A and B are shown apart, each in its own frame.
Chain A
Amino acid sequence: MTSETPILPSTPAFFDIEPSRGWVNLGLGELWKHRELLYFLTWREIKVRYKQTALGVGWAILQPLFAMLIFSLFFGRLGKLPSDGVPYPLFVFAGLVPWTFFSNAISASSNSLVNSAHLISKIYFPRLALPISSILSGLVDFALAFGLLLVIMAYYRVAPTVNVLWLLPLVLLAAVTALGVGLWLSALNVEFRDIKHTVPFLAQMWMFATPIAYPSSMLPARWRTIYGLNPMVGVVEGFRWALLGTGFRPGRIMLASALAAVCLLVSGAFYFRRMERTFADVV
């Protein structure tokens, strides 16, 4: 093999480097060109996540499992919260599976830029690849936890309905929401390291604003659409509806959730791209 490949005649493959001002375009075409990088970054995250841990990938199911046990004990047994007619542990676990994915995704993506500071200051590539890959890599953990959810359903003899097909758009909704939040927080984190300390707290508050330990049927009906502006409400309720047949079918709440998620994503993407030009100088 030789290293001499003929240089292709320069197609008008030039680009200009200039200070950009105001709101810049999203550069999605360029991101698409770097899709292999996206793949490799995701793959690296997955490979590295459980290196040198004793339980390895077991952590992916232990996390929601323990949360389920604690919730069942305190909220189900002692607090006697209603669970829409399904066994409380199953009810709570069906909410915890998408929630764990979401909360891990926002914490991973909000730290993704700062953790890759050495890359950002030495190499050019579309920076969007970092938060996106940190969310994609969480899908593996999600799949494992979802497997456990199916096992628990079998244990309680609850059969999924045909509505399970809805799970795909629901996972997408969770991912879009996580990415929207992750874009805002990761860009802010470059300049303000406060974000790192805020995220766990934010995740906790958000969890209580999401119907995980309790059903949203506890809320008065007129508040539900506003409640649905928290996109995770749509995701969690949708999960229960599709798998367990409880909750409500994707209706107005779902629409509110989807709209809110898209707003988060679009605003996050523009904010990220705007801040991107100083990442290498500040990080």
Chain B
Amino acid sequence: MSNIALRVDGLGKKYSIGERRAAYKTLRDGVATAAEGSLRSLGALFGRTGSIPTSVPTDYWALRNVSFEVKHGEVVGIIGKNGAGKSTLLKILSRITQPTEGRARVCGRVGSLLEVGTGFHPELTGRENIYMNGAILGMSKADIERKFDEIVAFAEVDAYLDTPVKRYSSGMQLRLGFAVAAHMEPEILIVDEVLAVGDVQFQKKCLGKIGEVARGGRTVLFVSHNMTAVRTLCERCLVIEKGALAEDTKDVAQAVRRYGGYGAGSSRWVRDSSEFRSDQKMAFTSIDCQISGDQPQHTITLTVELRSIRQHAPAFIAFDITDASMTPLMQALPKPEGFLHHDDVYQLLVEIDLPPLIPGTYRIAAWVGSHFNSTYDSVGPVLEFSITTSPTPRRSFPHTQDHGSLVPRSRVSVPVSNAY
């Protein structure tokens, strides 16, 4: 047999909008639609088309005409904006949902990890849940028994094995969930955005494990918004845009830079009014970004507008600065305690003194929340600014990100005896 692990051919998935919005119907709706349908066909039978108003739900293609091949042992990253169709693709490939058209051939045992800890039951103990979760993921009892100690060691829960999972911290639940899934050893591993949750330590550990799986010669399909992870893990990158395959490239760094998951950046960001969630406490409405000054002392000036929507605790703001491939560089915390009390609209002027940065484009993400852990709103790294001059005067060779983006000021003094 060839060494193709996965062949996807013209895959498409259609949802009717009605289906997506009102997830399930009641019988009454069903009867009503059926009645309407039969009335219509009755009308059609008598040649009277169009006389009865139709309420055919609008169709929506979450994925259309996607074709690609993946060889055994390849590690492929899939990136794209939210709602582009990445998750739909993975759901089809892991057989959770059926495609509407097209086909895919999968050669090998598939393990999919679309959510950490699926199937955990809060009342069962850690030990029991390992077996339960393993069985749901398709492991046999013997497999689980063989891997049990490793799973426990990875999850660092040995002291709590006989405690119900509902008493676990969320971090422990995550670790345990990932540990079980990571040890299922499929030939093809499908991972969706599991790293979006959990602390940095956990993310590192997961990434390490996924890397280990990849180096072990297995095929990995990896969806993430963590562009650093995609860049370091993947040798190939698929870009999904509006349900179609926009790019299929081996130049992962390039694809990540171009698509980054957030589209092109700009110096001004304004929220679509439709984006508000009703349960949100605060929301950014617009942010303007200007850069002034010169090396080595650039200053970013942000004009921030935000609103309180409902009652909230005193809040404060933070700004993450990343490089073009979304690798976090630093965070600015202009006033590290709650200073925004419930009020209608705020106009804030934020100034950030930048350390010396190498030439390139950078992104800023904004956050507002309280008590350091409850987020009211966050805006992805959509604001962009560029540095055009080198922070090191008289440098005659170009800067590269391989040595980092920050150039600390440095001095050297030469002992007199060595000077000539």
Residues in chain A within 8 A of chain B (CB atoms): 1, 3-5, 7, 10, 12-20, 34, 36-37, 39-41, 44, 47-48, 51-52, 118-125, 190-194, 277-278, 280-283
* Chain A residue, CB-CB nearest to B139: A36
| Beta-carbon contact of B123 and A3 below 8 Å | no
| Beta-carbon contact of B140 and A3 below 8 Å | no
| Cα–Cα, bound, A199→B174 (Å) | 37
| Beta-carbon contact of B106 and A123 below 8 Å | no
| Cα–Cα, bound, A145→B212 (Å) | 52
| Beta-carbon contact of A124 and B101 below 8 Å | no
What residues of chain A lie closer than 8 Å to B141, measured between beta carbons? Answer: 36
| Beta-carbon contact of A14 and B105 below 8 Å | yes
CB distance from B281 to the nearest CB of A (A): 27
Q: B257 near A: Cβ within 8 Å?
A: no
CB distance from B136 to the nearest CB of A (A): 6
| Cα–Cα, bound, A191→B185 (Å) | 35
| Beta-carbon contact of A280 and B91 below 8 Å | yes
| Beta-carbon contact of A36 and B96 below 8 Å | no
Q: B115 near A: Cβ within 8 Å?
A: yes
What residues of chain A lie closer than 8 Å to B97, measured between beta carbons? Answer: 277-278, 280-281
| Beta-carbon contact of A123 and B118 below 8 Å | yes
| Beta-carbon contact of B103 and A7 below 8 Å | no
| Beta-carbon contact of A125 and B24 below 8 Å | no
Q: Which of A13, A37, A122 has the most chain B CB atoms inside 10 A of its CB?
A: A122
| Beta-carbon contact of B24 and A283 below 8 Å | yes
What residues of chain A lie closer than 8 Å to B101, measured between beta carbons? Answer: 19
| Beta-carbon contact of A3 and B103 below 8 Å | no
Which residue in B99, B109, B136 is a CB contact (below 8 Å) of A37? Answer: B136
Q: B335 near A: Cβ within 8 Å?
A: no
What residues of chain B lie closer than 8 Å to A120, measured between beta carbons? Answer: 96
CB distance from B152 to the nearest CB of A (A): 12
CB distance from A274 to the nearest CB of B (A): 12
CB distance from A7 to the nearest CB of B (A): 6
| Beta-carbon contact of A121 and B103 below 8 Å | no
CB distance from A47 to the nearest CB of B (A): 6
| Beta-carbon contact of A14 and B106 below 8 Å | yes
Given the known interface contacts A122-B114, A124-B94, the answer about A3 and B99 at a Cβ–Cβ threshold of 8 Å is no
| Beta-carbon contact of A17 and B26 below 8 Å | no
| Cα–Cα, bound, A190→B19 (Å) | 12
| Beta-carbon contact of A16 and B103 below 8 Å | yes
| Cα–Cα, bound, A51→B132 (Å) | 17
Given the known interface contacts A7-B217, A123-B119, A125-B138, the answer about A44 and B104 at a Cβ–Cβ threshold of 8 Å is no
Q: B183 near A: Cβ within 8 Å?
A: yes
| Cα–Cα, bound, A13→B110 (Å) | 10
What residues of chain B lie closer than 8 Å to A122, measured between beta carbons? Answer: 96, 114-115, 118
| Beta-carbon contact of B124 and A44 below 8 Å | yes
| Beta-carbon contact of B140 and A281 below 8 Å | no
Residues B99-131 near A (CB distance < 8 A): 99-109, 112, 114-115, 118-119, 121, 123-124, 128, 131
What residues of chain A lie closer than 8 Å to B109, measured between beta carbons? Answer: 13
What residues of chain A lie closer than 8 Å to B26, measured between beta carbons? Answer: 192-194
| Cα–Cα, bound, A193→B23 (Å) | 11
| Cα–Cα, bound, A121→B175 (Å) | 21
Which residue in A17, A18, A123 is a CB contact (below 8 Å) of B93? Answer: A17
| Cα–Cα, bound, A20→B98 (Å) | 8
CB distance from B179 to the nearest CB of A (A): 11
| Beta-carbon contact of A281 and B123 below 8 Å | no
| Beta-carbon contact of B131 and A40 below 8 Å | yes
| Beta-carbon contact of A19 and B98 below 8 Å | yes
| Cα–Cα, bound, A190→B24 (Å) | 7
Which residue in B91, B132, B212 is a CB contact (below 8 Å) of A40? Answer: B132
| Beta-carbon contact of A123 and B96 below 8 Å | yes
What residues of chain B lie closer than 8 Å to A277, measured between beta carbons? Answer: 97-98
What residues of chain B lie closer than 8 Å to A3, measured between beta carbons? Answer: 147, 150, 183, 185, 212, 216
* Chain A residue, CB-CB nearest to B115: A122
* Chain B residue, CB-CB nearest to A4: B216
Given the known interface contacts A15-B106, A119-B118, A122-B115, the answer about A194 and B94 at a Cβ–Cβ threshold of 8 Å is no
What residues of chain B lie closer than 8 Å to A283, measured between beta carbons? Answer: 23-24
Which residue in B72, B99, B108 is a CB contact (below 8 Å) of A18? Answer: B99
Q: B398 near A: Cβ within 8 Å?
A: no
| Beta-carbon contact of A48 and B124 below 8 Å | yes
| Cα–Cα, bound, A107→B321 (Å) | 54
In the complex, 9 of the A-B residue pairs with CB atoms within 8 angstroms, ordered by the A residue number, are A13-B108, A13-B109, A16-B105, A44-B124, A51-B123, A123-B96, A280-B96, A281-B19, A281-B97
| Cα–Cα, bound, A79→B336 (Å) | 78
CB distance from A13 to the nearest CB of B (A): 6
| Beta-carbon contact of A48 and B123 below 8 Å | yes
| Cα–Cα, bound, A194→B218 (Å) | 46
CB distance from B272 to the nearest CB of A (A): 27
| Beta-carbon contact of B121 and A44 below 8 Å | yes
What residues of chain B lie closer than 8 Å to A190, measured between beta carbons? Answer: 24
| Cα–Cα, bound, A126→B140 (Å) | 15
Known: A3-B147, A277-B97. 10 other contacts (CB 8 A): A1-B150, A7-B216, A10-B187, A14-B107, A16-B104, A37-B135, A37-B136, A44-B128, A120-B96, A192-B25
What residues of chain A lie closer than 8 Å to B140, measured between beta carbons? Answer: 36
| Beta-carbon contact of B100 and A193 below 8 Å | no
| Cα–Cα, bound, A44→B131 (Å) | 10
* Chain B residue, CB-CB nearest to A52: B123
| Beta-carbon contact of B136 and A123 below 8 Å | yes
| Beta-carbon contact of B27 and A192 below 8 Å | yes
What residues of chain B lie closer than 8 Å to A282, measured between beta carbons? Answer: 19, 23-24
CB distance from B369 to the nearest CB of A (A): 27
Q: B15 near A: Cβ within 8 Å?
A: yes
